[in-house]
Amino acid sequence: DFSLRMLAERVDTPYAKASQVVNELAGKNFNAFLGECRVKEACRRLSDTEQYGNLTIEAISASVGFKSRTNFVAMFKKVTGLTPSEYQRSARLQNAAKKP
């Protein structure tokens, strides 16, 4: 439930200024930026089979802050070009290839 309002309060900055800074630095609005950050963390977790391999894609989605599978899959595909299951399968193959 993290929001731009919460960010502004935490850094003691007016809401409009926080929004402007995010837009300038990230080149996108706060919600798009937050969605991308969540997808990047989901990618890390999907790739880390040792620590997160026992979790479902839905559990990882929820753990990074997505409230619906549909929104997660849409944002994930927008950011990575793959569905979460395609990404997970690829990550597992790469991890298996690295093991002796």
Reply yes or no on whether the pLDDT at 99 is more than 80. no
Q: What's the pTM?
A: 0.88
pLDDT tier for residue 1 given thresholds of 50, 70 and 90: confident
User: Residue 33's pLDDT is what?
Assistant: 96
Per the CB < 8 A criterion, the answer to whether 30 and 22 are in contact is yes
Question: Percent of the chain at pLDDT above 70?
Answer: 99
Model confidence pLDDT, tens digit, residues 28-74: 999 999 999 999 999 999 999 889 989 999 999 999 999 999 999 99
Q: Which of 83, 80, 82, 88 is nearest to 49 (CA)?
A: 88
What is the pLDDT, as a whole number, of residue 24?
97
